[in-house]
Amino acid sequence: MKLTTNAPRPSLENQRFQVIVIGGGINGVAIARECARTGRHTLLVEQDDFGSGTTSRSTRIIHGGLRYLEHGELGLVRDSLRERKKLLRHYPHLVHPLRFLLALDENSRRNALKIRTGLWLYRMMAGGRHGTSGDKEDAEKVERSLDQGRRWSLFSYQDAQCEFPERLVAEWLVEAVESGVIARNHTQVLAVDVRQGRAKGIFIRDRLSGKEERVEGSWVINATGPWADRICQRSSIRTQRPMLGGVRGSHIVLPRFAGVPDSAVYSEAVDGRPIFVIPWNQQILVGTTEAEDRGDPGKVQPSLEEIDYLLQSFATLFPQANFSGTDIRYAFAGIRPLPYAPNARLSGVTRKHYLHDHKADGAAGMISAIGGKLTTAAQLARECAAKIGASMQKSPRINGDRAEGLSAASDLIQSPLGMIASDVDPVLDSFVADIANAGGISESSASGIVEWHGKRSGAIARMALSSADLRAPLCPHTEHIVAEAVDAFANECAMTLGDILLRRVPVALGACWSPECTREAAAVLKPVMGWSNQQAADEIEAFEAEREGFLRKPS
Ligand SMILES: Cc1cc2nc3c(=O)[nH]c(=O)nc-3n(C[C@H](O)[C@H](O)[C@H](O)COP(=O)(O)OP(=O)(O)OC[C@H]3O[C@@H](n4cnc5c(N)ncnc54)[C@H](O)[C@@H]3O)c2cc1C
């Protein structure tokens, strides 16, 4: 089997769409999927890769937003909890429950009674589940690993985690394409074509071929997250005031240490701000910061002060870990696309999204989606589709292709009816065993495939069975295999090595990754992709530049 990423993509020149969505982060992909499901001929255009913007720079929690209760945003909490429940049901391989322990010491400004009341309300709004098994053991473990010189109060609650929102985006993208979306990554919108007070289409440049084209659209949706004001500026659309206030948030990634808690810890940083210490991808994710940032969101980097602040805060919580700057695997940052609120405290700006209609700005037919969270992207998409009159005529097609020949477990994983999270584990286990059999691969490889590729696992396993090259691991330290990458090139719009290793099969976010791993991955992909030596070298160079720009190893 040979694939090539060189084949020119069909021209879009002068094609007409009912809906054009600019921006392929979680919101843009969700909006395109929603519009296509209602029968609208939809184009989705992304300047880099799907999910490469803010979506892959977040804390990766699927949460109701306990913190928003402090700001009295009950509606936002209710919506988020409802969306969290749906994600847990429909995407159990990607979104799983995670226990959080709120750890406060005797100096905390937060009042214990208020916290208990807040947590009670949060649980009630989530459906009224109280403690879960293991709460006590986990709390004891966390207490042992926290600074022993302080008196801790621990409060337990449940939220959820999507370790790889990049994969959620890829899965929604496949669903969008199955519903008819034409999806173009590595294609930049140069400007929206606005004439006689109406958005008529867009001017685009394919960044892989350099080709420029004009495409027509009845509706243009600006879903570019923190780039939203820039799209308007490029198109000479004047909004009364900026739509966004850029707030940078940074994270550091640390190795696991002896006594590391299995739960996420939510506590206070050195300045009393909230901080998360979260088990993630066999490492520890620590975040986040809040710093005003009006720079190019594509070039955002964590500052050394932020990295230091996160490390210091971590060290005051877990001194036994004894980490220094050299232990930081990498740091990354993103710009929160928060609504413009010039006089508000950064932490107090609402996380609720809104839709801005540009009719009054002289661009009827154009809507900007502002703000939001990973958790509420599907809701934002429904609201956006409703705003442009795209109503659901038939029930959503959650199921795409079926893993034929595999057990009923795969049907359950794909089931739009879903199941409660605690029912999922045995079903996943039996599905993993089926995938291992179907692909002639180890159970640990199969487990990794199921976790990342859900309902596509059957197709990947069948492909893997056909050749040893396709069963080869992408690097010597991972169980993830070449067939996953090939499937992503063929079915998930991956175009570059970076699209694969950072997002579709995101092994390069793992603990092992090094330039040596990149060379290994390119070497095993080269024969199946039909790359020349020069192409493989170019892919490696572009990948290293992208990784360097995204994941910063502090000096
Ligand atoms: C530090 C931090 C932590 C967060 N933590 C969480 C969390 O734990 N849970 C949660 O639910 N939410 C969290 N969020 C919020 C969440 O990540 C964002 O709300 C969400 O990812 C925004 O998605 P988006 O699609 O709007 O934007 P993006 O993901 O940024 O997508 C916009 C896309 O538009 C593209 N684009 C821009 N200009 C153009 C152009 N000219 N042509 C074509 N394409 C263009 C960009 O390349 C980009 O891919 C966090 C955010 C940050 C910054």
pLDDT tens per residue across span 343-362: 777 667 777 899 999 999 99
CB 48 within 8 A of CB 296: no
Q: From the CA of 53, how far away is ligand 1's center (Å)?
A: 5
Residue 223's alpha-carbon distances to 21, 174, 260, 368, in angstroms, are 7, 18, 38, 6
Ranking 16-25, 144-153, 376-385, 505-514 by mean pLDDT, the lowest is 144-153
pLDDT exceeds 70 at position 503: yes
Ranking 221-235, 294-308, 398-412 by mean pLDDT, the lowest is 398-412
Rg (CA), the chain: 23
What's this model's pTM, rounded to 2 decimal places? Answer: 0.93
Q: Stretch 275-288: mean pLDDT, rounded?
A: 96
Residue 377's alpha-carbon distances to 12, 46, 91, 139, 246, in angstroms, are 27, 17, 14, 32, 19
Question: Which residue is closest in CA terms to ligand 1's atom 27?
Answer: 225
CB 366 within 8 A of CB 358: yes
pLDDT of residue 401: 31
Q: Is the CB of 224 under 6 A from ligand 1?
A: yes
From the CA of 231, give the closest atom in ligand 1. 41
pLDDT of residue 133: 63
Q: From the CA of 345, how far away is ligand 1's center (Å)?
A: 21
Distance from the Cα of residue 206 to its chain's centroid:
24
pLDDT of residue 136: 78
From the CA of 298, give the closest atom in ligand 1. 47
Which of 22, 43, 48, 55 has the most ligand 1 atoms within 8 A of CB, as the residue to mutate? Answer: 55
pLDDT exceeds 70 at position 419: no
pLDDT of residue 108: 86
Q: Stretch 515-527: mean pLDDT, rounded?
A: 97
CATH for 96-159+245-333 is: 3.30.9.10
Residue with tokens 């700001």: 71
pLDDT tens digits for range 86-118:
999 999 999 999 999 999 998 888 888 888 888
Q: Stretch 60-71: mean pLDDT, rounded?
A: 86
Q: pLDDT exceeding 90 applies to what percent of the chain?
A: 74
Look up residue 104 and give its amino acid.
L
pLDDT of residue 355: 97
Strands 42-45 and 182-184: parallel
**Helix (H), strand (E), coil (C) string for 265-316:** EEEECCCCCEEEEEEECCEEEEECCCEECCCCHHHCCCCHHHHHHHHHHHHH
Strands 291-292 and 283-287: unpaired
Q: Stretch 357-382: mean pLDDT, rounded?
A: 96
Residue 552 phi, psi (nearest 5)? -90, 125
pLDDT of residue 129: 62
pLDDT of residue 400: 35
pLDDT of residue 147: 86
> CB within 8 A of 231, min separation 6: which ones?
22, 189, 192, 222, 224, 368
Q: Is the CB of 188 under 6 A from ligand 1?
A: yes
pLDDT of residue 5: 59
pLDDT exceeds 80 at position 381: yes
More confident residue, 110 or 121: 121
pLDDT of residue 403: 31
pLDDT of residue 23: 98
Ranking 136-145, 313-322, 473-482 by mean pLDDT, the lowest is 136-145
CB 534 within 8 A of CB 542: no
Write out the H or E segment, with its range, that includes residue 195.
Answer: strand 187-195
pLDDT exceeds 90 at position 224: yes
> CB within 8 A of 111, min separation 6: which ones?
none
pLDDT tens digits for range 435-448:
999 999 999 999 99
Q: From the CA of 278, how far away is ligand 1's center (Å)?
A: 20
What's the CA gap between 23 and 47, in Å, rounded? 7
Q: Please provide the average confidence, as pLDDT, over all residues in the chain.
A: 90
Q: pLDDT exceeding 70 applies to what percent of the chain?
A: 91
Look up residue 337 and give its amino acid.
P
Confidence of residue 340 (pLDDT cuts 50, 70, 90): confident
Which of 59, 207, 353, 370 has the most ligand 1 atoms within 8 A of CB, as the residue to mutate? Answer: 59
- Considering the four listed CATH numbers 1.10.8, 1.10.3470, 1.10.490, 1.20.120, the one that applies to the domain covering 408-550 is 1.10.8
Name the residue among 377, 461, 350, 383 with its Cα closest to residue 165: 377
Q: Stretch 510-530: mean pLDDT, rounded?
A: 95
Look up residue 300 and give its amino acid.
V
Residue 520 phi, psi (nearest 5)? -60, -45
Which CATH fold would you assign to the domain 16-54+166-243+351-387? FAD/NAD(P)-binding domain (3.50.50)
Q: From the CA of 372, how far away is ligand 1's center (Å)?
A: 9
Sequential DSSP letters for 386-441: HHTT----S------S--TTS-HHHHHHH-TT---GGGHHHHHHHHHHHHHHHHT-
Q: Which of 104-113, 241-250, 409-418, 497-506 has the highest mean pLDDT?
A: 497-506
pLDDT exceeds 50 at position 412: no
From the CA of 250, give the closest atom in ligand 1. 1
From the CA of 334, give the closest atom in ligand 1. 53
pLDDT of residue 410: 44
Q: Stretch 233-261: mean pLDDT, rounded?
A: 94
From the CA of 336, give the closest atom in ligand 1. 53
Helix (H) and strand (E) counts in the chain: 18, 17
The sign one gets for the Cα dihedral 84, 85, 89, 95 is positive
What's the CA gap between 489 and 497, in Å, rounded? 10
> CB within 8 A of 169, min separation 6: which ones?
24, 25, 26, 29, 50, 51, 55, 503
pLDDT exceeds 90 at position 295: yes
In three-state secondary structure terms, 322 is coil
What's the CA gap between 529 and 290, in Å, rounded? 42
Q: DSSP state, 50? A: T
In three-state secondary structure terms, 531 is coil
Ranking 5-9, 179-183, 519-523 by mean pLDDT, the lowest is 5-9
Q: Stretch 491-517: mean pLDDT, rounded?
A: 96
What's the CA gap between 73 and 127, in Å, rounded? 18
The first and second tokens of residue 555, run together, are 């000096």
Strands 330-339 and 291-292: unpaired
pLDDT exceeds 50 at position 407: no
pLDDT exceeds 60 at position 398: no
Domain ranges of the chain: 16-54+166-243+351-387, 96-159+245-333, 408-550
Name the residue among 476, 479, 424, 431 with its Cα closest to residue 457: 431
CB 159 within 8 A of CB 111: no
